[in-house]
Structure 1
C-alpha cells in the first residue's frame, strides 16, 4: 500500500503550543466550527483560532454551559449540537446553512469518554461509534454546501493514538456479541482517521481537505478526567501528589500543546498541498505497524496501516451512509 505518511519537517515540536503554531497566520474572515470547543483542548483550539482572527461557532449539547466556559473569549458563539441525536445534527447544520456563511474550517473535536457499560443511541448503535464517528460523519456531510462555498476548506477529525489498537469491527461494529469499552474507543478513533482519508479522496477536487489529528494525552480533559487517580497514576499521567506529568516528547501534554496539532491541521500553510493524512506533534506522522504496548513510559501513537487503508476508508464511508439511512 502506498501512503502519504511521511513527516514534512514542519519546524515545530511536540512541545509547541497552539499560539506558536498560529504565529503569523491571519485568520480574519475565516469561519470555523469546533464541536466540543468549550472544554479541554477544544476550548484551547477555539481560543487560539479566535486570537488569530477567526470567527468560531462551538457546537455543544448545552450552549448555556458552553457560553459560560467561553466567557472572556471574544468572537465566539455557541449553538446546540447533540452528536447522539440525528435530528439535533440536522437542525444545527440547517441553521448554519441558512446563514449562508461559508465554512472554512470544521474541527470535529467532541468525544465521548468510554462508558464502563455498553450504551447505545436511539438507533441501537454503540455510543462511542455513534458519537465520535457517526455523528461527525453526518454533520460533515450536512455542512458540505458551506464547505464548498469557502473555496478552500479543511475538515479536522480529532482522533487518538488508540487507533493503533483496533481496526473496524466489520462484523460487529456495535458490540452485539460482547462489549469492551477500550476496543470500542479504539474502533471509533480508527474511524476518525479512515473518514479523513476518504473525505480527502472524494472532496479534494472541491478544495476540501481532510486531516486526522492525534493531540497527545492531556490530563484533565473530559476523556481522561473520568479515570480515577489510581488509574491516572498507573498510566504515568499524574505524580504521587496528583499533579499532571508533562512530558510532550512522550505524548503527555498541556492543553496548549495538545491543541497545537489541531490548529496546525486547521490552518498551517505547510499543509496546503497535503491532505488525507494523520498528524501528530505538529507534523505528518510516520507509519508504524510495530506492535508496541501502551505503558506509563511509552505511549505509541504513530499511525497504523489499518487506519489509513484506502479500501477500508471507502468501505467505512459506505457503511456510515447505510447506518445513517437505516
Structure 2
C-alpha cells in the first residue's frame, strides 16, 4: 500500500454539504464508533448521524451527566467517563472497552480546546497540546487491539486551518522557554493532529487501520470559542455587528451540520476505501498549499489547502516517537 496523494478526489460534495447528506445511503449496522467530544457541537452531530445510520455509539466524557443529557437526542448512545488530561482515566476507559470484546470500526477524535490561557496538566504539559494531541494519541494507541479487530477501521483526527498559526516546536513543546501565545499553542496542537493521522496511517494500514485529518471549518456556535472575546470574532468576520454568527461556507464559516460533514465522510465514505494519511476539508482531500497560492491561503481568500509541514512524514514520525515517550 502506498501513501495516498494529497490531492482532491472531486468527491461531488462541497463546503455546503451536511453530515446527513454525505452519509446518505450508508448502512453502519454492526459497526462500533467512539466519538470523543460527542456530546456537544460537531461531535454531537457526528454521533447523531452515525447512530442514525445504525452504528453503536460510545461517547467518552469528562462531564458524564452533561453528556447523558445532551445525548438524549441520540437514543442508545453509551457514555463513559474519560478526561483527556488524565492518563489514568484514558487507560481505564480503554481497558473497559477492550474488555467488552467489541471491535472498533470508527474512532472520531473530535474533542478539543482552543486558544486557552496558559495552563499545565499534572505532568507539566501545556494543556492544548496535552488535550488535543497527547490525550487522543494515548487513547488511540491503547485502543489499538480493537481497531485491528475491526479488520478495516478508520480514525479521524479533527485538525483545523489553525495549522496556520504554528508548526511543531520540537525543542519547546510546552512553552517552557518561550513566551506563551494562545493561538500559537492551538496551532501547534492542530498541526500535531494532522501529523498524527499521517504516521498513524503509515503504521496501521497493514493491519487495516486508516487515518484522516480534518479541517471542519469555522463553527463558532460551539463551546470551542468560549475563550475568545466577541471583538476578536467580529474582527475575523465570524460575527456580524449584532453578535450573530456569519454563515459563509465558502469562507469556512459553517453550521454545525456542515462542520461535521467532512469528518463523517472520512469515517464512512466508500470513496476513501484503501486511502488514508491525508488532510481533508470541504468533504474532499485537500490540495497542498504551494508557493504560488500561499499568500492567498494565509489571507483566507477561499483558498483550500494544507501546509506541507502539517503532512510531512518525517515530522510525523518524529512526533509519534516523542508522543510515545510523553505518554509512557
What interval of TM-score do these two structures reach, taking the shorter chain for normalisation? Answer: over 0.9
SS in 1 for 2:154: strand
Matching residue of 1:110 = 111
CA distance in 2, matches of 1:164, 1:284: 18
Structure 1 residues 54-97: Cα deviation after superposition (integer angstroms, max 9, x where no partner): 11111110111101011131121111110000001000001100
Q: Label 1:292 to 1:124 Cα distance change in 2 as closer, same or farther (>3 A).
A: farther
Structure 1 residues 194-226: Cα deviation after superposition (integer angstroms, max 9, x where no partner): 010001111101000010000000111111233
Structure 1 residue 299: Cα displacement: 6.6
| 1:113/1:222 contact within 8 Å kept | no
| 1:38/1:58 contact within 8 Å kept | yes
CA distance in 2, matches of 1:32, 1:126: 29
Matching residue of 1:76 = 77
Q: Label 1:29 to 1:126 Cα distance change in 2 as closer, same or farther (>3 A).
A: same
Matching residue of 1:142 = 142
CA distance in 2, matches of 1:259, 1:109: 10
Q: Label 1:124 to 1:255 Cα distance change in 2 as closer, same or farther (>3 A).
A: same
Matching residue of 2:307 = 304
| 2:18/2:257 contact within 8 Å kept | yes
Q: Label 1:3 to 1:163 Cα distance change in 2 as closer, same or farther (>3 A).
A: farther
Structure 1 residues 124-166: Cα deviation after superposition (integer angstroms, max 9, x where no partner): 0110110000010000000000001111100000010111332
CA distance in 2, matches of 1:301, 1:182: 20
Matching residue of 1:211 = 212
Matching residue of 2:28 = 27
Matching residue of 1:288 = 289
Matching residue of 2:55 = 54
Matching residue of 1:157 = 157
Q: Which runs of 5+ in 2 are unaligned?
A: none
| 1:164/1:307 contact within 8 Å kept | no
SS in 2 for 1:246: coil
Q: Which runs of 4+ in 1 moved over 3 A?
A: 291-295, 297-301
SS in 2 for 1:213: strand
| 2:166/2:187 contact within 8 Å kept | yes
Q: Which runs of 5+ in 1 are unaligned?
A: none
Matching residue of 1:316 = 319
Q: Label 1:319 to 1:57 Cα distance change in 2 as closer, same or farther (>3 A).
A: same
1:1-326 to structure 2, matched below 5 A, reads 4-116=5-117, 118-177=118-177, 178-289=179-290, 290-292=294-296, 298=301, 302-325=305-328
Q: Label 1:144 to 1:302 Cα distance change in 2 as closer, same or farther (>3 A).
A: same
Q: Label 1:278 to 1:24 Cα distance change in 2 as closer, same or farther (>3 A).
A: same
Q: Label 1:176 to 1:301 Cα distance change in 2 as closer, same or farther (>3 A).
A: farther
Structure 1 residues 166-217: Cα deviation after superposition (integer angstroms, max 9, x where no partner): 2110110100122111110000000001010001111101000010000000
Q: Label 1:14 to 1:62 Cα distance change in 2 as closer, same or farther (>3 A).
A: same
Q: What TM-score does the superposition give when structure 2 sets the normalisation length?
A: 0.95
Q: What TM-score does the superposition give when structure 1 sets the normalisation length?
A: 0.96
